[in-house]
Homo-oligomer: A and B are copies of this chain.
Amino acid sequence: MLNNSATLDRTFQALADPTRRSMLARLSQGPSTVSALARPLAMSLPAVMQHLAVLEESGLIRSQKSGRVRTCRIEPQALSVAERWIGERRLEWEQRLDQLGEYLATLKI
């Protein structure tokens, strides 16, 4: 539970930045080299690497070096955990609405 919570902390923290979200959007369409990821971004390569490090530490991506080329891939599992957490809250909230609806219906009788 604690570990899962720390994972969610890191995942949501990594998602709380527009550059990192744009990198994830790019990587959800397929693997990419670091230089291809950096090309559309108006920032230095060290800044790009820092964002990628945050994404990799959160488990949202992984990267592999082959010669001088580093390739990044999305790791859908971490995104799924975050999506599931939000989905569970929505479900609880919808169930609560249903119960309210049922209660209101009994009042009308």
Q: Show the binding face of A for B, using Cβ within 8 Å.
A: 5, 8-13, 15-18, 21, 24-25, 28-30, 74, 76, 79-80, 82-83, 85-87, 89-90, 92-93, 96
Contacts and interface: CB of A to CB of B under 8 A. Distances in A.
Given A30-B96, A96-B30, A25 B83 contact: no
Contact of A90 (B9, B17, B30, B76): B76
Copies in the complex: 2
A81 to B, nearest CB: 10
A99 to B, nearest CB: 9
A87 B83 contact: yes
A93 B30 CA distance: 7
A90 to B, nearest CB: 6
